[in-house]
Structure 1
């Protein structure tokens, strides 16, 4: 018997789309929440809406433009170069983004009667983002439960998977073609295989090639 109702934090990218398909098999009812914060690739919100519609899932689009004002970075400013900063964090790091997203996803879950929240963060290929770590997720889960006095459960199905294993999971969920051809991961806003050069595309491409090579050898 499938569990209750879930909210998926959904960007329309490889990871969140894989999580959405996973959630649709795990939960009786699923809705998604997409955040608009004037991100570098505005197409992201459109892609998220199209995929949600295709999978017959209600998508909530929330305006988080204040995040753009507070945290200028390469994801929110076209003129900023995508690179590794001196502090060891990539210039695409948005301080507190997942903290804000999970807080608002929890508020939405409270309002629509969902107890489960699903997010595609991953510590294995987390690019140095501190708010993608398992320790942060566990801490955040405790915090939102205390803040709203509700027993929310934050699920991270990709937490310990590398990109090759994430592609494998998508394939096992019968969603490989969907994830490969209709998602947007590229920092330059190109759907599917993307530009092939930005860090997100390189990670995605290498993982896919590794998985297809492994699959072909079996």
Structure 2
């Protein structure tokens, strides 16, 4: 795959940045696409651009504010509290987000002659979002190819990795400190280890703590 072109769906967070390093190790030509959908943590777009520039990969932002107009959720409405209740979708779920992002990423990929599309979704450590499931990705891959008469391949290198394993993957690429210091995962837009209170920060920081503990104990090689 090293001689082929790829597009990374990129937010500047831990997962998509790790995916970017993964893509750079697999493909000869890599570009990134980021979406501005009115997210409360819009600072992630600035960090995504800085990361792309530092790694010398093309960076493109698409205006997806329509999502903000259609859906009331905690990621696009500051007045809605961030919470997770057992048996219910989290208030941070943005209906149709990954479906739309991947569809537009495919249009962009076709425009620049890329066949491979990488996304950082995971079914292992996730908040119950239905559009992070492996079955959804596989179904959408078929749909995109039928709709566009294409041969796209949707890659999900984190699908079966928990956050501890995502940190391990970043470390494998020599990017552990880079991802720690330069990414924004926090729903409140706080860089690095974040606010420490939102669900995204808790997942990220618990995973890092577990990975560093295992590494220092010799369990991780």
CA deviations over 1:127-176 (Å, ceiling 9, x no partner)? 10000000000000000000110100000000000000000000001110
Distance 2:76 2:146 in 1: 32
What count of residue pairs does the alignment treat as equivalent? 218
Q: How many Å separate the matches in 2 of 1:214 and 1:85?
A: 31
1:3 Cα offset (Å) = 3.8
State the partner residue of 2:190.
190
Aligned to 2:4: 4
Runs of at least 5 residues in structure 2 that lack an aligned partner in the other structure: none
Match of 1:213, SS? helix
- Residues 1-218 of structure 1 mapped to structure 2, 5 A cutoff: 2-85=2-85, 88-218=88-218
Q: Cα deviation per residue 1:18-50 (whole Å; 9 max; x = unaligned)? A: 000100010010000000011011101101100
Structure 1 stretches of 5 or more lacking a match? none
Secondary structure of the structure 2 residue equivalent to 1:91: coil
Using the size of structure 1 for normalisation, the TM-score is: 0.98
Q: What is the rounded CA distance, in whole Å, between the counterparts of 1:35 and 1:216 in structure 2?
A: 37
Cα distance in 1 for residues equivalent to 2:211 and 2:125: 15
Q: With the length of structure 2 as denominator, give the TM-score of the two structures.
A: 0.97
Q: CA RMSD in A?
A: 1.0
